[in-house]
Structure 1
Amino acid sequence: MNKSESKYFNTAERMDRAFLDLLDEKEFPYISVKEICARAGVSRSTFYLHYESVSDLVTECAEYLYEQLEARFEHRTSDVEECLRECPLEEVLLIIPEYLIPYLNFIREHSRLFRIATENADTLRLNQLYQRMYEHVLTPAFDRTRVPVRERGYIAAFYIHGLMAIVNEWLRGGCAEPVEEIATIMQQRIPPVVAR
């Protein structure tokens, strides 16, 4: 990365941090480009060089947080794949506590941004982000249970949207219930992937 690219990304990171700091102080609809620029120490023209709108900045912040979350799980992927290969077929789950608890804790830590992101899921392409996050669990489970390839997209959509409905409801309630309670609800309501 050359010096100008580094400066570009450093400026974007400052605006991301400024937005997240402002989000701790006030509701999303009341955060202006002017405030973000003042907090980040950049001009409005610099903001618009990076983003078309505050929604674009929210998208980038959400993607950045998901990348952090995915990085936390990378070392666990082989453990999950091994577990899915060795456990009895009736125990093949897409909801694994080793992933679920840290995921829910992460959402709670960043609940204001996630609430904004889920309320604007279509414009923020949030479904793509959620789908990416579950890919490393879905595929091994589908392979083990021999789910036909043509059915996998439908089943994945069912699981992901069901889980996200629970998360969205939890976010709307201010993440009042303990993480463990939400994890239990998810595990009890999402059936195992059983081979036919």
Structure 2
Amino acid sequence: MNKSQSKYFNTALRMDEALITLLEKKELEYITVKEICETAGVNRSTFYLHYETISDLLEETVAMINERFLSYFPQTEEAVLGGMGHRELKDLVLVSREYLLPYLRFIRDNKKIYRAAFRNPTNMQADARYGDLKKHILGPILERFQIPAAHRPYYIAYYIEGIIAIVKEWLRQGCADDPEILADIIEKCVHADSGK
């Protein structure tokens, strides 16, 4: 990356972070280009050099968040699933540390993003981050448990909404507890439901 590309990238990153900071405080439709520029420490012409609209910035910001999010997880599906296909049914749990810890570490390291995402779930495409979790982890486990396909969305909603409620409380407390503690709490809640 040459110097001008690096400068361009750093300016874009500052605007991404500025948008996240502003989304923590207010809805997207009330954020102005002027506020983004003031928060990022750039002028309006710099903003328009990078983007035509705030929606363009939002699209880039969401892509940056998703890329950052995925970087916390093992890059192979087998590493994430932890041999799920070979485990005995009695040893199979719907929610486990293999993917809880990377998720919780990302939240701890990116509190602003999650506060903004919970305040503006549609704009921040919060549901998109759960798509892979549903498709590659929860769906296959429910299939192994022989849960009918028509019922799986209810099970998935129950687990995801429960985890989200715990994460929101954790964020409210400034992520004071270690991710390992949160993973223990979530696993105990899940095991209580499954009778383990």
Give the shorter-chain TM-score range: 0.7 to 0.9
Structure 2: distance between partners of 1:141 and 1:13: 41
Which residue number in structure 2 is paired with residue 130 of structure 1? 130
State the one-letter code of the partner of 1:99. Answer: Y
Moved more, 114-123 or 61-70: 61-70
Matched, 1:35 2:32: no
What is the CA deviation profile of residues 10-46 of structure 1, one whole-angstrom value per residue up to 9, with x for unaligned ones? 968733333426867xx64599123256438843444
Residues 138 and 156 of structure 1 are in contact (CA less than 8 Å); yes or no, is this contact kept in structure 2?
A: yes
Among 11, 26, 37, which residue is 1:14 paired with? 11
State the one-letter code of the partner of 1:90. Answer: K
Which residue number in structure 2 is paired with residue 182 of structure 1? 182
State the one-letter code of the partner of 2:69. Answer: L
State the one-letter code of the partner of 2:11. Answer: R
Residues 100 and 183 of structure 2 are in contact (CA less than 8 Å); yes or no, is this contact kept in structure 1?
A: yes
Q: What is the RMSD of the two structures over their aligned residues, measured on CA atoms?
A: 3.5
TM-score, length of structure 1 as denominator length: 0.73
What is the Cα deviation at residue 88 of structure 1?
Answer: 2.2
More helix by share: 1
Moved more, 121-130 or 59-68: 59-68
What is the Cα deviation at residue 110 of structure 1?
Answer: 0.8
Structure 2: distance between partners of 1:190 and 1:124: 28
Structure 2: distance between partners of 1:34 and 1:192: 49
What is the CA deviation profile of residues 67-97 of structure 1, one whole-angstrom value per residue up to 9, with x for unaligned ones? 3322443534124546222222122122221
Seq. identity, %: 27
TM-score, length of structure 2 as denominator length: 0.73
Work out the number of aligned pairs and report it: 182
Ranges in structure 1 where 5+ consecutive residues have no aligned partner: 1-6
Residues 117 and 124 of structure 1 are in contact (CA less than 8 Å); yes or no, is this contact kept in structure 2?
A: yes
